[in-house]
Amino acid sequence: MNFIWQITLSDIFMIALTLAYVVTTICILKSSTRQFAETMRPKIYVDFRFKDGMMYVVVKNMGERAAHNINIEFSPDIKYRIGSEDRSLNTTPLINNLSFLGPKNDIDSFIGAAWEVLPKQQDSLKAIIKYESEYGKKKYKEEHLFSLEAYSKRVYSPAKDIGDIVEGLNKVEKAIKQGKNG
């Protein structure tokens, strides 16, 4: 029995088209897998928060997975004082070695009154953030640059103490009495 294979031009075209389809599908699957892995990872961000004239450094995991072994280094380092103790932000436990931060969670640490804590001789501040995914499967290193000018231009209202509140209420009471008598 002799079989004669006849390949026509249309057969060659169909083979090429099928091969192109298979290669394209494989590329799409690989890209989709990479994108899914990127969205399902920890994503650590650091920033400064100001509330009632006080300054906090905030470490936030914006990702979908927990982050482990988080280390943040500020350049230049931020020196601050709490009570009579001088401190360095790069050596605080929150910044130096945070062992775990859950997904969509944040943690903050008080570092001083207002923005004056930030280095004045610098125009910018860099934070280098290193952390790992669960079980140390993947290590990440990211850099964030902060414009110190943006922080220095914020306007803060001083925190009100009980004396300020009482004084304000006395003024309101006086205004009410004057309104009734006037």
* pLDDT at 181 exceeding the cut of 50: yes
| Whether pTM exceeds 0.75 | no
For residue range 113-142, what is the model confidence (pLDDT) as tens digits? 765 667 666 778 899 999 999 877 899 999
175 in a structural domain = no
Mean pLDDT of 69-81: 88
Residues 19 and 89 in one domain: no
For residue range 85-117, what is the model confidence (pLDDT) as tens digits? 888 888 887 788 889 999 999 998 888 776 566
Per-residue H/E/C for 157-170: CCCCCHHHHHHHHH
Residues 66 and 145 in one domain: yes
Residues 117 and 131 in one domain: yes
The encoded tokens of residue 80 equal 């601050």
How far is the C-alpha of 69 from the C-alpha of 99, rounded, in Å?
A: 4
Q: Say how many domains are in the chain.
A: 2
> Is the distance from CB of 65 to CB of 134 less than 8 angstroms?
yes
Residues 141 and 70 in one domain: yes
Residues 95 and 15 in one domain: no
Pick from 46, 17, 158: which is nearest to 106 by CA? Answer: 46
Residues 14 and 48 in one domain: no
* pLDDT at 18 exceeding the cut of 90: yes
* pLDDT at 72 exceeding the cut of 60: yes
Place of tokens 């306007």: 155
86 in a structural domain = yes
How far is the C-alpha of 61 from the C-alpha of 79, rounded, in Å?
A: 25
Mean pLDDT of 4-10: 78
User: 51 is in which domain, residue-wise?
Assistant: 44-152
22 in a structural domain = yes
178 in a structural domain = no
35 vs 16 pLDDT, higher one? 16
